[in-house]
Amino acid sequence: MDSLIVEGGAPLRGAVEISGAKNAALPLMAASLLAYSPVTLHNVPSLMDVDTMMLVLHTVGADVIRKGNTLVIDPSNFNIPEAPYNLVRKMRASIYVLGPMVARLKKAKVSMPGGCVIGRRPIDLHLRGMESLGAVVDVSHGYIVVDNPGLKGARFSLEGPNGSSVGATCNTLMAAVLGEGKSVIHGVAREPEVRDLVDLLNEMGARIEAQDSTITVEGVRELHGVEHSIIPDRIEAGTYMAAAAITRGDVILKNCHLPHMEAVVGKLREIGLEVEPVVGGARCRCNNGLLKPTNIRTLPYPGFPTDLQAQFTAFLSLIEGNSTVTETIYPERFMHIAELARMGAEISLFSATATVCGVKNLSAAPVMATDLRASAALILAALAATGKTEILRVYHIDRGYEHIEKKLAGLGARIHREG
Ligand code: UD1
């Protein structure tokens, strides 16, 4: 298994190109199955999760060709209504084929995704979406089995106990677009990745209107292929901003879309960083040593994203004073705390709130990556620590960050991979 070796201490300086958003690419790849002709997606990042989704699309009969960051997905032979356990267990987002299967093949058999290290991750809202549209859902032997006797427009809410669900919104939308009549869906996720899916579907011929937390879908008979470019990855951009911040550096983020990052940019400015738009992107720099502690609460968009919680916890651990980080989306998503503590961070956890008592230095230690964003947090901590940190189980990072060590090295980080 590969590990990353990071020698800390160098402030990051220079420019980095932000890739297309993983969390938009995955549902948009699945949505391509809804068309009767090929869909071309540009700005698709080269990531393990994208490879897995390509495999899922192959498994259900579609042809996928990749040329650099462009994917051409030909759904003409999409005719297998099953996503087996060995794929879904690799990547939860495989469940995104559920909606297209129900809509186009009139039936679906998709393995139930299990829990994962960031906590319990139910799928009841996905099923609520299907049932509200008139599908018949059965869960047995670890599989979700859905029959579509003819989906009909309906008025319902997808709001869950922790707010809206990105996955359930995308799946329900992909089922509703080919249904009969009008659906009004309340309590939907407003994440930019969901809006990218709405844009793609509308370009394919769908009739969807998204406003705040409500989406209205007027069903259509068929959808056609188009060319579409995936939005920039706001989580990757936020991670590089946090990397600039924790190393007290100065980084230009090319192809970064600041309007998708208001909560994150607001926090960085409150802490004392300068974040400004520049032509084609943004600049994040630390102009003074006096950074202030803060309180972060993760929330569905437009709130502060849970996918940046771990990285900001690492950053706050080097700011003098007490900060708090409250996780409202995945209350158990704090696996990185024990690893950060091994590097000298002082963080205590009570319920879903971490209290971070800033320390002057972090020191290198062998640490273990537990999930995708926790891996990023450990890399950030290592960039600022004294000495050489070895980060084990780094395969998690390849799921979601394109060429991370190359990009960081381009900013002056001393980082390399060992196999
Ligand atoms: C997506 C992102 C993930 C991000 C998460 C929250 C992708 C591929 N993944 O995951 O990176 O961390 O959004 O922004 O885009 N929930 C239910 N019932 C359900 C579904 C969800 O109760 O049926 C709960 C979840 O447990 C969680 C909250 O709703 O507390 C939000 O989850 P959701 O938005 O669905 O996450 P994903 O789509 O799985």
Q: How confident is the prediction along the chain (419 residues), in pLDDT tens digits per residue? A: 789 999 999 999 999 999 999 999 999 999 999 999 999 999 999 999 999 999 999 999 999 999 999 999 999 999 999 999 999 999 999 999 999 999 999 999 999 886 566 666 789 999 999 999 999 999 999 999 999 999 999 999 999 999 999 999 999 999 999 999 999 999 999 999 999 999 999 999 999 999 999 999 999 999 999 999 999 999 999 999 999 999 999 999 999 999 999 999 999 999 999 999 999 999 999 987 789 999 999 999 999 999 999 999 999 999 999 999 999 999 999 999 999 999 999 999 999 999 999 999 999 999 998 899 999 999 999 999 999 999 998 888 999 999 999 999 999 999 999 98
Residues paired with 254 in a beta bridge:
17, 281
Ligand 1, atom 12, lies closest to the CA of 307
Task: Find out whether the beta carbon of 313 lies less than 6 Å from any atom of ligand 1.
Answer: no
Residues paired with 346 in a beta bridge:
357
Sequence-separated (6 or more) residues with CB below 8 Å from residue 67: none
Task: Find out whether the beta carbon of 124 lies less than 6 Å from any atom of ligand 1.
Answer: yes
211 sits in the region (left: phi over 0; alpha: psi -120 to 50; else beta) called beta
Of the candidates 328, 306, 335, the one whose C-alpha atom is nearest the C-alpha of residue 117 is 335
Task: Find out whether the beta carbon of 162 lies less than 6 Å from any atom of ligand 1.
Answer: yes
Distance from residue 307's CA to the centre of ligand 1 (Å): 11
Sequence-separated (6 or more) residues with CB below 8 Å from residue 346: 317, 356, 357, 358, 359
CA 343 to chain centre: 27
Task: Find out whether the beta carbon of 125 lies less than 6 Å from any atom of ligand 1.
Answer: yes
H-helix or E-strand containing 274? strand 274-278
Task: Find out whether the beta carbon of 23 lies less than 6 Å from any atom of ligand 1.
Answer: yes
Distance from residue 210's CA to the centre of ligand 1 (Å): 19
H-helix or E-strand containing 209? strand 207-211
**Atom number in ligand 1 closest to CA 49:** 8
Residues paired with 70 in a beta bridge:
67
> What order of strands is seen across the sheet that includes strand 207-211?
155-157, 182-186, 214-218, 207-211
357 classed as catalytic:
no
CA–CA separation, 82 and 69 (whole Å):
27
Instruction: Tell me the three state secondary structure of residue 47.
Output: coil
**Atom number in ligand 1 closest to CA 120:** 26
Of the candidates 4, 88, 51, the one whose C-alpha atom is nearest the C-alpha of residue 393 is 4
Residues paired with 298 in a beta bridge:
304
